[in-house]
Protein backbone atom coordinates (compact mmCIF):
# COMPACT_ATOMS: atom_id res chain seq x y z
CA UNK A 1 0.00 0.00 0.00
CA UNK A 2 2.83 2.35 0.89
CA UNK A 3 4.58 1.65 -2.37
CA UNK A 4 1.48 2.50 -4.31
CA UNK A 5 1.15 5.76 -2.43
CA UNK A 6 4.76 6.70 -3.24
CA UNK A 7 4.26 6.03 -6.89
CA UNK A 8 1.18 8.19 -6.93
CA UNK A 9 3.14 11.02 -5.32
CA UNK A 10 5.92 10.72 -7.86
CA UNK A 11 3.38 10.86 -10.61
CA UNK A 12 1.90 14.05 -9.19
CA UNK A 13 5.39 15.53 -8.81
CA UNK A 14 6.11 14.78 -12.43
CA UNK A 15 2.96 16.46 -13.62
CA UNK A 16 3.67 19.40 -11.38
CA UNK A 17 7.19 19.89 -12.72
CA UNK A 18 5.95 19.60 -16.28
CA UNK A 19 3.41 22.26 -15.54
CA UNK A 20 6.13 24.51 -14.11
CA UNK A 21 8.31 23.99 -17.20
CA UNK A 22 5.36 24.91 -19.35
CA UNK A 23 4.72 28.05 -17.33
CA UNK A 24 8.40 29.06 -17.47
CA UNK A 25 8.69 28.54 -21.19
CA UNK A 26 5.70 30.77 -21.71
CA UNK A 27 7.19 33.58 -19.68
CA UNK A 28 9.38 35.61 -21.96
CA UNK A 29 12.79 36.04 -20.44
CA UNK A 30 14.79 39.04 -21.49
CA UNK A 31 17.65 38.39 -19.11
CA UNK A 32 18.87 40.09 -15.99
CA UNK A 33 21.25 42.83 -15.01
CA UNK A 34 23.34 41.85 -12.04
CA UNK A 35 25.23 44.37 -9.96
CA UNK A 36 28.84 43.40 -9.36
CA UNK A 37 28.97 45.40 -6.15
CA UNK A 38 25.80 44.66 -4.20
CA UNK A 39 24.66 41.56 -6.13
CA UNK A 40 21.31 43.15 -6.65
CA UNK A 41 19.56 42.31 -9.87
CA UNK A 42 17.07 43.83 -12.20
CA UNK A 43 14.90 41.79 -14.52
CA UNK A 44 14.86 43.28 -17.97
CA UNK A 45 11.52 44.07 -19.51
CA UNK A 46 10.59 43.96 -23.15
CA UNK A 47 12.64 46.36 -25.22
CA UNK A 48 15.17 47.05 -22.47
CA UNK A 49 18.84 46.23 -22.66
CA UNK A 50 22.04 46.74 -20.74
CA UNK A 51 22.69 49.93 -22.70
CA UNK A 52 19.61 51.51 -21.15
CA UNK A 53 21.14 51.31 -17.69
CA UNK A 54 24.32 53.06 -16.69
CA UNK A 55 24.80 51.66 -13.22
CA UNK A 56 23.12 50.13 -10.21
CA UNK A 57 21.53 52.33 -7.56
CA UNK A 58 24.60 51.67 -5.40
CA UNK A 59 26.90 52.86 -8.16
CA UNK A 60 28.14 49.38 -9.00
CA UNK A 61 28.67 48.11 -12.50
CA UNK A 62 25.85 46.13 -14.07
CA UNK A 63 26.46 42.90 -15.88
CA UNK A 64 24.07 41.23 -18.26
CA UNK A 65 23.08 37.66 -17.54
CA UNK A 66 20.71 35.49 -19.43
CA UNK A 67 19.75 33.58 -16.31
CA UNK A 68 20.01 34.05 -12.61
CA UNK A 69 22.35 31.73 -10.73
CA UNK A 70 20.45 29.84 -8.15
* Closer by beta carbon to Zn ion, 10 or else 36: 36
Scan residues 38-57 and list those touching Zn ion (CB under 5 A).
38, 40, 56
> How many chain residues interact with Zn ion (CB under 5 A)?
7
Residue 62 pairs with which residues in a beta bridge? 35
Q: Single out the segment in contact with Zn ion by CB under 5 A; choices: 1-9, 17-25, 45-53, 58-66.
A: 58-66
Q: Whose Cβ is closer to Zn ion: residue 16's or residue 37's? A: 37
Contacts of 58 (CB under 8 A, 6+ apart): 35, 37, 38, 40
Q: Closest approach of Cβ 39 to Zn ion, in Å?
A: 7
Between CA 49 and CA 47 the distance in angstroms is 7
What is the residue-wise DSSP string for 14-45?
A: HHHHHHHHHHHHHS----EEEETTT--EEEPP
Query: Can you give the binding site for Zn ion, defined by CB under 5 A?
Result: 35, 37-38, 40, 56, 58, 60
Amino acid sequence: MNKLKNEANEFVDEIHSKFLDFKLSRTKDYGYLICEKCSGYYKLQKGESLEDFEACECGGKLKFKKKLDK
